[in-house]
Amino acid sequence: MTRRAGKARGGGTPTAPREVEFRAGCGRSWRLASAEPDLAYTELGFTECGACPHRVDPEGALPFCTLRPSDTLHPFAALANLNLPDD
C-alpha cells in the first residue's frame, strides 16, 4: 500500500510530499514536491505559450498548461488504440 502526502498513518504528523518531475505538453519539465496527480501552470511565461496547442483556455478563468508527472501516461492514452466503426 502506498501512502499519500498528508496525515501520516494513525492521524499523526503530516508527511512531506516527494519531489516529482512534472512535464508540460511542450516537453519542458519541472521538479516539484507535490502529491497531486497533475498541476496547472498559469504563468505561461514562455514566448510560445500563447500559440501552444497544449494550452487550455477555460471560459471565465485564466489560461493554463497542464503539468503531469513525467512517468505517467496521458489520461487519454488508452484511446489511441480505439477503433471506431465508420457508420
Domain boundaries, the chain: 17-71
How far is it, in rounded angstroms, from Cα 82 to Cα 62? 33
- In terms of Cα–Cα distance, which of 69, 21, 28 is closest to 45? 28
Q: Which three cell numbers stand for residue 15?
A: 508527511
Contacts of 86 (CB under 8 A, 6+ apart): none
**C-alpha 42: how far from chain center:** 12
- How confident is the model over 61-73, as a mean pLDDT? 90
pLDDT in tens, 1-56: 334 445 555 667 778 888 999 999 899 999 999 989 889 999 999 999 989 888 99
